[in-house]
Amino acid sequence: MPWRPPAPGALGTDVDPRELLRYLDDLITWKDRRKVELDALDRASMDLTDPQDRAAVTPDVTLSMTLWQAVSDRLGLILATWDSGRVGEGERRRITTLVWGSLEQPGQRAGGQSLAVSLPEACRLSDSLASALRMRLRLDGADPTVTDRLHDLRQQVERIADQVALVPESRRASAQQAYDALDRRLEEVTGRARRGGDVGGFLGPLEVEAATTERDLIVAASQRAHARVDHARASQLVAELAARGDAVRALAERARTLVTPAPTLGVPDVAQLGPVPGDPQELTAYLTRLERVDRALTLAQQAYAAALERREDLAGRAERVHAALDADEQGAAASAGLAEQAQALLARTPTDLTRLEAMVQAQETLVRTMGVQP
């Protein structure tokens, strides 16, 4: 079974190009071998005669394929940046950012199988899943002996322990209990086997439970990564929307001061949503509300900006037509009253846009009637 290569550097750091080359060569090999293995696992799962057995392994096979595709896509970006070794410090830093940054890109998350983990994390999760699937599907040939099955179970339980250690301490209790129960049952079955007892009836259920627990922990790790990404994104959005809200409120106040009728749209205050929640479900709802605030701010900004732009447009038209008429002796005499009224309206705040537009249109009609070129 292929095993993931160690990733170089850290997020955004510069790494020796020779180290990067070794890593990329090893990762390409890992990717190709893992694809061959996953194809074999997929065929083995489809060959299962029991529909329940097939249904039990299908989610793990699907998740394994998702992980492999995420790694393959990111490797493609890294190789494009690597450009056959023609890289400077900037490109090397971009490569380590691609290695250690989240695999998920904006707009990619379409369902429960999407992942927000780094490239090394995705490879590690892929190794764990593939190992569990090989054991469950007996991909290594003839039925293994009890000793082999116990050995594989021990390795799997140790991987579960590694996964449990990644769970935040405040949420670790249930995962720790599941691990403790599996470890205790494995010790009991191992002891019974050493004493010469028949453990065939105990191993099957234990293998299924261990595989399910490991998969659930892997998925939970991805969900936690999603939550971290979402929390950071929500915090950034709150800051951006707060700044935009202040700017739009200033724009609205200026519009109300300068023009009438002014728009009456309210300007939402993102602070009214409260702090960014930590619970994943609450965070999802919070992000939805942030999107509504974003849309409301956009509508308000467009409305108030349009009112001010209308005033500027009318002022410009009034100035142009006044200049054209003023240059013509007859036009200047005929339009004097209209021009004075238009200038008086512009000087008054808030400016009555309805009356101003009527004045400007009257002057433009006069220009056309007199044949004056504006």
E-state strands within the chain: 259-260, 351-352
Is residue 222 within 8 Å of residue 67, measured between CB atoms?
no
- The three-point CA angle 102-108-112 to 5° equals 90
Which tops the pLDDT comparison, 260 or 101? 260
Residues 6+ apart with CB under 8 A from 316: none
Rounded distance, CA 122 to CA 117, Å?
A: 6
Across 85-94, average pLDDT: 92
Confidence tier at 374 by pLDDT (50, 70, 90):
low
**Tokens representing residue 73 in the block:** 């896509």
Res. 111: pLDDT tops 50: no
Instruction: Provide the 10 A C-beta neighbour count for residue 304.
Output: 24
Across 311-333, average pLDDT: 77
Kindly give the pairing relationship between strand 259-260 and strand 351-352.
parallel
Across 206-227, average pLDDT: 82
Tell me if residue 352 falls in helix, strand or coil. Answer: strand
- Give CA torsion, residues 246, 247, 249, 252, to 10 deg: 180
Instruction: Please name the amino acid found at residue 61.
Output: V
Q: What's the confidence (pLDDT) of residue 131?
A: 80
Identify the helix (H) or strand (E) that includes residue 303: helix 280-326
Stretch among 147-156, 307-316, 328-337 having the lowest mean pLDDT:
328-337
Q: For the whole prediction, is pTM greater than 0.75?
A: no
Rounded distance, CA 224 to CA 166, Å?
A: 10
Q: What's the confidence (pLDDT) of residue 219?
A: 78
